[in-house]
A = this chain, B = another copy of it.
């Protein structure tokens, strides 16, 4: 292990520049020599040195992901890793490599600065949880290729990508309507829970335009906890007429919702259907398995990767924000057994 371009040139009886040219598919090389050189490369088991190429070309072919990597993130936030996996896949297909770099919000900016200065990456993908004002400033000032994974919760000029929660809401509503449900309820997070609010907005929109507007008494907001999920469901059940389907803004609330329905002896979905968002492992572990609007987080990573590569190739790109689509994963919680 250790053949260099010189070795190849020597063995092939050519100059190094010729070898370099076949390496880079330069037009001026005759098919004949190209073949010969490639053959020698195979024989010598030659691969060009990554760092030598980087330094000569001034480009690293590396994308660094800046994210929190503190204990248990993999368990608490598998989405983030699924995004990274999706990103790695499409980056690899385009000849890029992916660096994973743990940071916290406090030092993300400094780290970004160092990475940019050391030219140790061509682009940066930054998880929204470590975003900060200074970092946002740095990125836009330097016009360094980047994308923020998730929508920043402050005004800025950075590029970001997120799933379209409003759209997810409409998907949820139209799916239930299609299944014949008409009295649809929504239980979700507080008004400042952006994800929940946007989903609610989508649900409202869709039901409205279908002619079955979401009634206020069918909307309850609380914390995104199992306990509040139970509580909100209980409220719903305390006031007739009962809905025939409940949309839960997220899995935690859904968990509580299912608890409450069970404890009242109601059958899911025969007595009441339940639907939520995001496919967590336990979405399908609980009884009954939950129908979810899946946000295809992997695709989000993939698109982020694609965007970054485009950005590197064409630094003048103006695209700022990206939004991914979602789709239904139908499971038992919305499919009554045939009688």
Contacts and interface: CB of A to CB of B under 8 A. Distances in A.
Contacts of A55: 49, 51-52, 55
A88 B69 contact: yes
Contacts of A49: 55, 118-120
A47 B118 CA distance: 5
Nearest to A52: B55
Interface in A48-86: 48-52, 54-55, 60, 69-76, 78-82, 84-86
Contacts of A69: 85, 88-89
Interface string A221-261: 00000100000000000000000000000000001000100
A187 interface: no
Contact of A281 (B46, B52, B76, B80): B76
26 contacts: A45-B113, A46-B117, A47-B117, A47-B118, A49-B118, A49-B120, A50-B54, A50-B118, A51-B52, A70-B85, A72-B82, A73-B81, A73-B85, A74-B74, A74-B79, A74-B80, A74-B81, A74-B82, A74-B85, A88-B102, A92-B102, A97-B99, A255-B285, A259-B287, A282-B282, A282-B285
A280 interface: yes
A46 to B, nearest CB: 7
A88 B117 contact: no
Contacts of A98: 99-101
A1 interface: yes
Main secondary structure of the interface of A (DSSP, over half): helix
Nearest to A111: B92
Given A1-B142, A75-B82, A259-B287, 8 more contacts: A50-B51, A73-B85, A75-B279, A75-B281, A92-B101, A92-B102, A97-B99, A99-B100
Nearest to A97: B99
A71 B88 CA distance: 11
B78 A119 contact: no
Interface string A281-305: 1100111000000000010000000
A193 interface: no
A116 interface: yes
A260 to B, nearest CB: 13
Contacts of A114: 47
